Amino acid sequence: MADQITLTLPVEEEFQPIAHLVIGGLAVRLDLTFEHLEDMQLALDGLLERRGDKPVTVSVSVDERKLRTSIGPFEGAALEDLERDDSAFGLRRVLETVVDSFEVEQRDGAKWVLLTKATA
């Protein structure tokens, strides 16, 4: 059974470190290295920069030696560069570098991003 924490962050940026604390706390349970933790936080920050002017929900779970994070909802063209498969430097390239896998899914009329990072 996976342990899961879900929080909804208000629009104001000063609440963003709370998501870092949650990811950090669960990463400790997996014995993730500091570098792996920084990778997840970088991915989270890149996504939160695109959230627009609405609150965003971050759900983090630990299951089978993996840290899984779901972030959304994103509306409009916020994730446009994730859906392009080109070599341009952007969020897609960052996520491909720092997490083991990511995917964009449609849920309740909006887009959500799922991130996965395994232990070393």
Express each pLDDT in 94-118 by its tens digit.
Answer: 899 999 999 999 998 889 999 999 8
The CA distance from 41 to 19, in Å, is 9
Percent over 90 (pLDDT), the chain? 33
pLDDT at residue 88 in the model: 66
Q: In what order do the strands lie in the sheet with 101-107?
A: 3-9, 56-63, 66-74, 110-118, 101-107
Provide the residue ranges of all domains of the chain, joining segments of one domain with +.
Answer: 3-118
CA-CA distances (angstroms) from residue 77 to 81, 84, 89, 114? 8, 12, 17, 17
The answer to whether residue 87 scores a pLDDT higher than 60 is no
pLDDT at residue 59 in the model: 93
Looking at CATH, the fold of the domain delimited by 3-118 is given as Heat Shock Protein 90 (3.30.565)
Q: Tell me the pTM.
A: 0.86
Give the mean model confidence (pLDDT) for residues 62-83. 83
Structure tokens given for 42: 């970088």
